[in-house]
Chain A
Amino acid sequence: GAGVSQSPRYKVAKRGQDVALRCDPISGHVSLFWYQQALGQGPEFLTYFQNEAQLDKSGLPSDRFFAERPEGSVSTLKIQRTQQEDSAVYLCASSLWGSPQETQYFGPGTRLLVL
């Protein structure tokens, strides 16, 4: 596709439920990023992949968060045993290589509400 796509766009989960959020990056983009955006805040970095390798997961808030990109294209962010504080918009971005000057292209986000 022309841009980064994410699904689902909205997800309502009951506390304790597991969720999986999908990201399809721009075709051919090596680098993929996940960010978390709380209401009224700027996005915060969660994790970074270069191809299938997860090079940085320092932003994942707890061991309930897990991300993968097994074939170096589509990525899934999984949250186990969701908590209310996990409610946020989860943004995926991709860039061609990941160099400092490159633009990161963002998807529309998945809005997660945990009840």
Chain B
Amino acid sequence: GDSVTQMEGPVTLSEEAFLTINCTYTATGYPSLFWYVQYPGEGLQLLLKATKADDKGSNKGFEATYRKETTSFHLEKGSVQVSDSAVYFCALKSGGSNYKLTFGKGTLLTVNP
């Protein structure tokens, strides 16, 4: 079945550091890939998405590229801020069951000033 494996946290960085959160997947067909973010005390929000191979999703300085050959969708940001502290979830919707999201376990990011 479909699955998503995320880099285990927690991740602690200083402000302005470079961020990478690794995500790899197993899926039927050609999935759409998503990163969701959950800020403290808030609900899940879509951060970015990519729907086909080699697409790059980007938002708020975050980027992720859909790599079919390595089945990966790593999240990156060049310079993190304290306000980026949150839990980040990688997720997919596969062609086999194209309506439900399959999530990774989440990665807690803490950015210190």
Contacts and interface: CB of A to CB of B under 8 A. Distances in A.
Given A35-B101, A59-B100, 5 more contacts: A40-B105, A41-B105, A42-B104, A44-B103, A91-B43
Interface stretch (A12-20, A72-80, A95-103): A95-103
- Across the A-B interface, give the 3 residue pairs with the lowest CB-CB distance, nearest first: A42-B103, A100-B98, A106-B44
Interface of A: 31, 33, 35, 40-45, 48, 55-56, 59, 91, 93, 98-101, 103-109
A3 to B, nearest CB: 8
A4 to B, nearest CB: 8
B43 A100 contact: no
Nearest to B6: A42
Contacts of A98: 98-99
A93 B101 CA distance: 10
B24 interface: no
A6 B100 CA distance: 19
Nearest to A59: B100
A44 to B, nearest CB: 7
B98 A104 contact: no
Interface stretch (B11-19, B45-53, B70-78): B45-53
Interface string B65-86: 0000000000000000000000
